[in-house]
Each structure stands twice: as structure tokens, then as C-alpha cells.
């Protein structure tokens, strides 16, 4: 790990003032925020991230950043709330099973205690060519160097949202749930607060895979806002190589609203198969207002994965991704809601 | 090696000028200084509260809490397995919650209450979880055991040890290469009963 200066922030505005420096992207800025540190410290040890200053934000006293607030119309989650804290929230367990389940199936209890939700959505890919600096080629780590995964060990890599420069999969389980809930992100920058649709937080890799989000250097996520009230008919299904403590091969976060047998509303987020948190818009538009059956769910899944681009070892993700989505939809339909 | 690093940094900087221009309006004048305070190690004086005692130590900002506990405080019960937050051998309690010491910076552990495996026993009496691991042979080589025990104590306190399935799920962050898992589950069940008696 390279030497760094350690700063302690006691309020959000001073943290932002410390971190608003010139950089080509949020993740490559020389000043980085440290929340739980579970991604950052790991990547600094690996010499993948090389900040010269860390600003500890867990010490920020702004209470709203540490709280979960429910009202009839929205759920507001402070960005410094830990994964464990949201996972254990009784109202969230009752009203947003999609959120609880996505957290429960992510990481280990130790990591859930440490990791904050703001950092969770910004966690970086597990692509081994990105994490291992002995590989020269990684466009995310070293722009313009190429992508070793294209013709490498790419079983775990993305099939949706890829480019010829990057096929790294986006790892968070919680993010597909947030995108399915139409969440918004409250961001503090040096010129004040702004609201970003969660769907617009992350950028497709395209030709600049090292620019992962639409956050400017120094911008700080302060809260997530889930509009529209409780989503009790919702769930998260995750398929992985082992039963626990493993990243997704494919996952689906589903929130539906039934009007008799018809889908009054349907939202689908996908994980483990795409380069960014993936909103299944095509599938949703085919299903909205229609009757949900195995046949209609299958047609929707086929449409969603129609443009999937596979490499040598990850073609199974197309089949698995579709099956996971179909199963999640049918299980959400079968939920008994009290 | 250093030259290579500098070259690569330069390359990254120049290679992304177009992208950088996206964010030009977010660059405050005068903030540049921070980015240049680097290269030589930075040390800090830190007071760590470990198992009820305060320890004042000088540490490099890079030092993890695991290294500080083992090499500065002299408590070697917490083990270094993967050093990447994947194996759980370094599990300790911070303010009563189980955390990974290998991903915790020492400088960030100040003002928190740290408990290690050495702090579990009451003088000569083992914690019920320590005794249960002995009673059920919850280990073979023993390297992961202090992490397993610290994790298990928290697992019971969290209320996540209600069933065997629960225990397996909520202990999944602690790997055991000897695969003592069935005995660990049995040990946690025994200790749970003892702990709940108070």
C-alpha cells in the first residue's frame, strides 16, 4: 500500500471541500472517501487504488446520513447506514423484502457491519484482471491498455452492457434492488445538493470503462430515496456457485403490483450479468398490464437478453439470467401478502 | 519499478484529458495541495482501547488494526489468513459488532471499544463459546478458531443463531480449511444455551 494522509471529517460539507480536487474520474481521484473501507482498503493493498489522501466519512455527525426514515410516501436511507443496519430494520423487513433479501444474500455479517450503503453501490468490480496488477491489460485500471478478460478466464463476466473495452461485471446485490425501486440518490458537491436517478448513477463502460459513475470527483452520496411507499410484493433471487458468501452468477430483483391476474406495475433489476446495475426495461414493457404466466415471463426474459454478447466461457449466463428473472417474477406473484 | 509507475500515472493522466474536461467545473482553486502531500510515510499517534485497556501507539496511517494488535499491542490471538477480508480469521469486535481487523485502519479505530479473543475469558474461566469449541472439537489446526469464536459470540448476541441453517448462513464469513463446520455448529448451539442463561 502507498502512503497516504488521513483526514477525519466531522460534517459532510467539509468532507466535500477536502475531496473536491482535479481528477479524471471519481474513482481515480487522489482524495478518496473512506466509509467502511471494505472495498477501498482491499484495493489499496492490491495497489489497484492509489489515493494520497483518505477522508474518513464515518465520523460525519450529520444525523440524516446515519438514519433510516420512513414516511407514507418514501423511504429515505442515509448513505452512512451500514448494510447490517438496513438489513435489521423491522419496517424495511415488512415493507421492502426486496431490500432486506438483497442485503442478507450479500457478503458476510462482518462485512455487512462494516460496509456503508453509499460505498456499497460504488464498490468496484471483482474482475481478476482488474484486481491483479500483474496483468498489464485492464482498461479500467490503466486506460488504453486493453482488456485481458475478452479472451481470458471470463466465466464470471458480463453479457449485458458490455463493450469491446470492458466486460467486467458490476458486483453489488443491493443496487439491482434500488434500480427496481426507481430510487434516487442525493449527492452533495461543492456547489450544493443534487438528486440523481439511481439508474443514471452508473455509466456503461463504452470506450471509458475507468469512468464508472456520473459523480464528479469529490461528490459525496448522502442518501438514497425510495419513492412511492411500501413494496411488499417484492423479492430478490440470487444464484451463485456456493450457497452463501459469494457474488452472483445471476440475480433478479423484482417488485410487482397485481390487479387481479394482470400486472398493474412491474419493475425488474438484474445483477451478476451486466456491467452496471441493470434495469430490465424491455421485459417490463412487455409485461406491464398483461397477465403474468410462465409463458409471458419467458417472452419478457427472451427480449431482455436478446442483445446479450457472450464470450468463450460465459454463455451460460444468458440461460441462467433468463431463468432467474422468470423464477423471481413467478415467486413474487405467488407471495402471500398480509 | 518506480519509473514504470510514474510512466503509467503520466499515461493515465494524459490519456484521459477528454474525460477530465467533463468535470472541470468541479475543481476548486487551491485544493490541489492535498493531492501532492504524498510519497513519504505518514505516522500518527493513536490511543487504542483493547479489552478494557488503553494503548498509546505510533502507527503508519497504512497499518491495519490487525497488524497493530499483533505487532504493536502484542495480542497475537487474532490471525492473518487472507488479509483481504475473505476468510474471517481476523474477526474482532468493535463496539460489540464483529468486524474484520485486516480491512480496518488503525487510525480509524481510535475512540472505539475493541475486543479480541484475549478479552473473552473472565480471568481463569473460559467464555462459554471457548469451552464449547473445546467440548465439540470445533477445530483441527486451530488457525481460524479465534476468528470463528469471535464471530460466533456475535452471531448469538445478534440473534442469528436460532437454527442450524441460521448459524451456517451467518457464520459463512469464517472459512475453515479443515472443514470443522459440523462441530462448529454444534459448539455454537451449546454456547447459545449457556449464553442465554446469562
Residue A105 near chain B (CB below 8 Å): no
Residue A210 near chain B (CB below 8 Å): yes
Residue A141, number of CB atoms within 10 A of its CB = 26
Residue A206 near chain B (CB below 8 Å): no
| Cβ-Cβ contacts under 8 Å for A243 (sequence gap 6 or more) | B172
pLDDT at B5: 41
Integer Cα distance of A113 and A287 in angstroms = 38
Using pLDDT thresholds of 50, 70 and 90, give the confidence band for residue B35.
very low
CA dihedral A86, A87, A88, A93 (to 10 degrees): 100
Disruptive mutation site among A38, A108, A119, A137 for chain B (greatest number of B CBs within 10 Å): A108
Per the CB < 8 Å rule, is A22 touching B20? yes
Residue A323 near chain B (CB below 8 Å): no
Q: Report chain B residues whose CB lies below 8 A from the CB of A28.
A: 12, 16
What CATH number should be reported for the domain whose range is A5-59?
A: 3.30.43.10
pLDDT at A338: 73
Query: What is the set of domains in chain B, with CATH numbers?
Result: 2-36 (no CATH), 128-197 (1.10.150.120)
Helices assigned H by DSSP within chain B? 2-15, 17-21, 32-36, 65-67, 128-135, 145-158, 164-170, 181-197
Using pLDDT thresholds of 50, 70 and 90, give the confidence band for residue A137.
very high
Using pLDDT thresholds of 50, 70 and 90, give the confidence band for residue B2.
very low
Question: Using CB atoms, which residue from B15, B158, B168 is nearest to A144?
Answer: B15
Does residue A180 carry a pLDDT above 90?
yes
Residue A214 near chain B (CB below 8 Å): no
Residue of B nearest to A24 (CA): B20
Residues 235-274 of A with CB under 8 A from B: 243-245
Using pLDDT thresholds of 50, 70 and 90, give the confidence band for residue B38.
low
Integer Cα distance of A38 and A133 in angstroms = 19
Q: Report chain B residues whose CB lies below 8 A from the CB of A90.
A: none
Does residue B22 carry a pLDDT above 50?
no
* Average pLDDT of span A74-85: 98
Per the CB < 8 Å rule, is A107 touching B173? yes
Per the CB < 8 Å rule, is B84 touching A45? yes
Yes or no: say if A279 and A199 are a contact pair by the CB < 8 Å rule.
yes
Overall pTM > 0.90: yes
Yes or no: say if A235 and A332 are a contact pair by the CB < 8 Å rule.
yes
Q: What percent of chain B has pLDDT over 70?
A: 80
The CATH 3.30.43.10 domain(s) of chain A lie at 5-59
pLDDT tens per residue, range B108-142: 999 999 999 999 999 899 999 999 999 999 999 99
pLDDT tens per residue, range A238-269: 999 999 999 999 999 999 999 998 999 999 99
Question: Using CB atoms, which residue from B28, B62, B169 is nearest to A20?
Answer: B28
Integer Cα distance of A246 and A156 in angstroms = 12
Q: Report chain A residues whose CB lies below 8 A from the CB of B28.
A: 17, 20-21, 190
Using pLDDT thresholds of 50, 70 and 90, give the confidence band for residue A43.
very high
Does residue B36 carry a pLDDT above 70?
no
Q: Report chain B residues whose CB lies below 8 A from the CB of A21.
A: 27-28, 31-32, 34-35
Which residues lie across from A262 on neighbouring strands?
A259, A291
| Cβ-Cβ contacts under 8 Å for B50 (sequence gap 6 or more) | B69, B73, B75, B114, B115, B116, B119
Using pLDDT thresholds of 50, 70 and 90, give the confidence band for residue B20.
very low
Does residue B25 carry a pLDDT above 70?
no
Yes or no: say if A60 and A188 are a contact pair by the CB < 8 Å rule.
no
Does residue B18 carry a pLDDT above 60?
no
The DSSP code for A333 is H
C-alpha cell at B72: 504493536
pLDDT at A211: 96
Choices 3.30.390.50, 3.40.50.300, 3.40.50.261, 2.70.98.50: CATH for A234-334: 3.30.390.50
Does residue B11 carry a pLDDT above 50?
no
Yes or no: say if B64 and B104 are a contact pair by the CB < 8 Å rule.
yes
pLDDT tens per residue, range A286-300: 999 999 999 999 999
Question: Using CB atoms, which residue from B26, B37, B107 is nearest to A53?
Answer: B37
Residue of A nearest to B38 (CA): A52
The CATH 3.30.390.50 domain(s) of chain A lie at 234-334
Using pLDDT thresholds of 50, 70 and 90, give the confidence band for residue A52.
very high
- Mean pLDDT is lowest, of A24-38, A170-184, B10-24, for B10-24
pLDDT tens per residue, range A198-238: 999 999 999 999 999 999 999 999 999 999 999 999 999 99
Q: Report chain B residues whose CB lies below 8 A from the CB of A247.
A: none
Q: Counting one residue from A and one from B, how many pairs have CB atoms under 8 Å apart?
A: 166
pLDDT tens per residue, range A100-114: 999 999 999 999 999
Integer Cα distance of A322 and A302 in angstroms = 7
Mean pLDDT, all residues of chain A: 97
CA dihedral B136, B140, B146, B151 (to 10 degrees): -60
Using pLDDT thresholds of 50, 70 and 90, give the confidence band for residue A53.
very high
Using pLDDT thresholds of 50, 70 and 90, give the confidence band for residue B187.
very high
Residue B35 near chain A (CB below 8 Å): yes
Amino acid at each position: 500500500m502507498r502512503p497516504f494522509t488521513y483526514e477525519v471529517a466531522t460534517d459532510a460539507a467539509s468532507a466535500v471541500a477536502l475531496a473536491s480536487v482535479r481528477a479524471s474520474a471519481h474513482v481515480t481521484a487522489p482524495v478518496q472517501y473512506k466509509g467502511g473501507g471494505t472495498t477501498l482498503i482491499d484495493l489499496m493493498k492490491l495497489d489497484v487504488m492509489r489515493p494520497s489522501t483518505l477522508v474518513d466519512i464515518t465520523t460525519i455527525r450529520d444525523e440524516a446520513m446515519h438514519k433510516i426514515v420512513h414516511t407514507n410516501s418514501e423511504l429515505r436511507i442515509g448513505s452512512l447506514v451500514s448494510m447490517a443496519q438496513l438489513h435489521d430494520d423491522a419496517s424495511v423487513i415488512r415493507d421492502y423484502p426486496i431490500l432486506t433479501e438483497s442485503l442478507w444474500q450479500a457478503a458476510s455479517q462482518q462485512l455487512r457491519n462494516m460496509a456503508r450503503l453509499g460505498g456499497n453501490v460504488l464498490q468496484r468490480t471483482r474482475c481478476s484482471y482488474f484486481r491483479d496488477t500483474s496483468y498489464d491489460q485492464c482498461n479500467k485500471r490503466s486506460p488504453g491498455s486493453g482488456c485481458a478478460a475478452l479472451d481470458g478466464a471470463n466465466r464470471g463476466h458480463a453479457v449485458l452492457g458490455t463493450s469491446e473495452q470492458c466486460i467486467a461485471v458490476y458486483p453489488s446485490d443491493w443496487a439491482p434492488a434500488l434500480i427496481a425501486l426507481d430510487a434516487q440518490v442525493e449527492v452533495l458537491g461543492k456547489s450544493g445538493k443534487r438528486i440523481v436517478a439511481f439508474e443514471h448513477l452508473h455509466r456503461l463502460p463504452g470506450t471509458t470503462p475507468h469512468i464508472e459513475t456520473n459523480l464528479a470527483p469529490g461528490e459525496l452520496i448522502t442518501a438514497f430515496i425510495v419513492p412511492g411507499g411500501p413494496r411488499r410484493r417484492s423479492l430478490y433471487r440470487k444464484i451463485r456457485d456456493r450457497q452463501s458468501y459469494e457474488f452472483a452468477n445471476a440475480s433478479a430483483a423484482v417488485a410487482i403490483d397485481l390487479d387481479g391476474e394482470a400486472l398493474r406495475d412491474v419493475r425488474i433489476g438484474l445483477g451478476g450479468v451486466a456491467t452496471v446495475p441493470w434495469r430490465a426495461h424491455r421485459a417490463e414493457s412487455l409485461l406491464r398490464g398483461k397477465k403474468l404466466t410462465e409463458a409471458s415471463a419467458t417472452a419478457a426474459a427472451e427480449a431482455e437478453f436478446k442483445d446479450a454478447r457472450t464470450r468463450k466461457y460465459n454463455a451460460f449466463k444468458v440461460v441462467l439470467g433468463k431463468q432467474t428473472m422468470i423464477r423471481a417474477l413467478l415467486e413474487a406473484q405467488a407471495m402471500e401478502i398480509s | 519499478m518506480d519509473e514504470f509507475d510514474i510512466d503509467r500515472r503520466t499515461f493515465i493522466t494524459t490519456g484521459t484529458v477528454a474525460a477530465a474536461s467533463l468535470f472541470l467545473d468541479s475543481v476548486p482553486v487551491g485544493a490541489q495541495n492535498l493531492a501532492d502531500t504524498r510519497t513519504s510515510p505518514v505516522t500518527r499517534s493513536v490511543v487504542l482501547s483493547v479489552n478494557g485497556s488503553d494503548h498509546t501507539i505510533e502507527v503508519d496511517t497504512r497499518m491495519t488494526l490487525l497488524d497493530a494488535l499483533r505487532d504493536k499491542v502484542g495480542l497475537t490471538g487474532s490471525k492473518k489468513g487472507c488479509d483481504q477480508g475473505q476468510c474471517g480469521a481476523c474477526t474482532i469486535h468493535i463496539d460489540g459488532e464483529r468486524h474484520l481487523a485486516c480491512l480496518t485502519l488503525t487510525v480509524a479505530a481510535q475512540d472505539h471499544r475493541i475486543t479480541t479473543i484475549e478479552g473473552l475469558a473472565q480471568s481463569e474461566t473460559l467464555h462459554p463459546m471457548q469451552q464449547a469449541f473445546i467440548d465439540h472439537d470445533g477445530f483441527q489446526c486451530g488457525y481460524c478458531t479465534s476468528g470463528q469464536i469471535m464471530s460466533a459470540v456475535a452471531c448469538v448476541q445478534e440473534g442469528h443463531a436460532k437454527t442450524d441453517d441460521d448459524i451456517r448462513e451467518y457464520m459463512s464469513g469464517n472459512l475453515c480449511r479443515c472443514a470443522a463446520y459440523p462441530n462448529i455448529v454444534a459448539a455454537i448451539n451449546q454456547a447459545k444455551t449457556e449464553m442465554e442463561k446469562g
